[in-house]
């Protein structure tokens, strides 16, 4: 199995039942773990802890440790350099996420056999990502891009599975899923008990076909 196949298959499996990734940024380790537990209780299987600075690494470490006890998967977000990728790999991150398409990180993730979700915001980004074999991509910043961007890019890239990220909550998750996103990344809605029923309603109906995964051409990074 190529590195890209491993990555695509990972996100397809873990986002099939509940199409939500939890994102918890900028919290201390104890709060991060509490938010992770809320997400897991909701049914979320993938949680991302952004590590935009060294100060966020202890929160990632605490979340990874808690995830092991719950049989869940915690990944690292905002991974923009190979050095940071090696750091989060040593901590035990199960996957990595980036705000953009960073070739150095894509290659390092492939070499480490870590599933990677790169960010895209243009057709060129999408084409460059799929050229490496990656078909699960983070549409970022989703709120600014809008649901129309998703629909427009699904047409020329029908094999791509978008994870809408940035400004997504209970108020607009359903719209992005209906536009063709395979999943959404949510933070504050999972932290707010009052928003959970609306979020459940938004993601529970079958608003899109569950994306199937078929291995594509061999990735040049494998």
Dist. CA 194–CA 68, nearest whole Å: 28
Mark out the alpha helices in the chain (DSSP H runs): 3-14, 29-42, 57-70, 82-91, 103-112, 123-131, 142-145, 147-154, 173-178, 188-191, 196-203
Dist. CA 75–CA 21, nearest whole Å: 10
Catalytic residue (one of 48, 54, 104, 201): 48
Catalytic residue (one of 107, 138, 201, 209): 138
Beta-sheet pairing, 136-139 with 20-23: unpaired
Nearest-CA neighbor of 60 among 74, 40, 73?
74
Q: What are phi and psi of 34, to 5 degrees?
A: -60, -40
Look at residue 21 and give its three-state secondary structure.
strand
Beta-sheet pairing, 116-117 with 96-97: parallel
**Four-point Cα dihedral 52, 58, 64, 68, nearest 10:** 180
Q: Is 138 a catalytic residue?
A: yes
Lookup: tokens for 10: 């990972």
- Residues with a catalytic annotation lie at 48, 138
């Amino acid at each position: 199995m190529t590195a890209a196949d491993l990555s695509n298959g990972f996100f397809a499996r873990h986002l099939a039942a509940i199409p939500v990734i939890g994102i918890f940024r900028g919290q201390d380790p104890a709060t991060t773990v509490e938010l992770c537990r809320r997400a897991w209780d909701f049914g979320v299987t993938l949680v991302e802890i952004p590590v935009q600075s060294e100060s966020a690494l202890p929160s990632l470490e605490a979340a990874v440790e808690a995830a092991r006890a719950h049989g869940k998967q915690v990944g690292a977000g905002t991974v923009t350099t190979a050095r940071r990728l090696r750091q989060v790999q040593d901590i035990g991150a199960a996957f990595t996420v980036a705000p953009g398409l960073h070739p150095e990180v894509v290659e390092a993730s492939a070499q480490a056999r870590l599933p990677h979700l790169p960010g895209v915001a243009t057709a060129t980004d999408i084409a460059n990502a799929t050229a490496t074999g990656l078909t699960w991509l983070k549409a970022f910043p989703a709120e600014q891009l809008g649901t129309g961007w998703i629909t427009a890019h699904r047409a020329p890239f029908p094999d791509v599975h978008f994870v809408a990220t940035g400004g997504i909550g209970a108020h607009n998750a359903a719209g992005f899923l209906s536009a063709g996103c395979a999943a959404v990344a949510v933070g504050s809605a999972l932290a707010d008990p009052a928003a959970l029923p609306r979020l459940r309603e938004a993601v529970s109906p079958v608003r899109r076909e569950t994306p199937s995964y078929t291995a594509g051409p061999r990735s040049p990074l494998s």
